[in-house]
């Protein structure tokens, strides 16, 4: 006979394994620019991909140089709100690319029932002032 405590433990283990499996299935990547790439200072449009599709409830957000809050990317997948492909432009209203190293981070967040799972991808790019060259 199972006690309530052992039943709760079994439920916790099954739920934890399910969440772990779901976490393994989500991902996000900045596809442009690439790590180490030199880019002009100022505005920058980045592109990316993720594991989002028509059956998942995910969003992609980005930041630069740990500037919070994260900003919502624009979904460009084949259906509405599909972040399988996405785009974001860093502009004056949020933060421009500065001279030197800039850390660009994309975050995917997916709802699985009451649980919100997230993964991150970061690239470091080099802001170059073309006017000074």
Burial class (CB in 10 A: 0-12, 13-18, 19+), 126: middle
In tens, the pLDDT along 50-88 reads 999 888 899 999 999 999 899 999 999 999 999 999 999
Could you please state the CATH topology (level 3) that the domain comprising 27-132 is classified under. Immunoglobulin-like (2.60.40)
Q: How confident is the model at residue 112 (pLDDT cuts 50, 70, 90)?
A: confident
Q: How is the beta sheet containing 38-40 ordered, strand by strand?
A: 38-40, 115-128, 100-112, 58-64, 71-72
- The answer to whether the beta carbons of residues 30 and 106 sit under 8 Å apart is yes
Q: How far is CA 48 from CA 39, 73, 105, in A?
A: 17, 9, 11
Boundaries of every domain in the chain:
27-132
Q: What is the pLDDT of residue 12?
A: 43
Say whether pLDDT at 21 is over 90: no
Mean pLDDT across 31-36: 98
pLDDT: which is higher, 133 or 98: 98
């Amino acid at each position: 006979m199972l006690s309530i405590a052992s039943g709760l433990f079994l439920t916790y283990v099954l739920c934890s394994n399910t969440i772990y499996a779901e976490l393994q299935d989500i991902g996000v990547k900045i596809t442009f620019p690439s790590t180490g790439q030199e880019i002009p200072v100022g505005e920058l449009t980045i592109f990316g991909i993720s594991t989002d599709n028509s059956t998942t409830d995910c969003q992609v957000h980005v930041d630069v140089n740990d500037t919070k809050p994260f900003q919502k990317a624009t979904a460009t997948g084949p259906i509405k709100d599909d972040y399988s492909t996405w785009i974001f432009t860093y502009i004056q209203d949020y933060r421009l690319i500065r001279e030197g190293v800039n850390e660009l981070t994309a975050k995917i967040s997916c709802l699985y029932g009451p649980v919100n799972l997230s993964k991150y991808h970061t690239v470091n790019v080099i802001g170059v002032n073309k006017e000074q060259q």
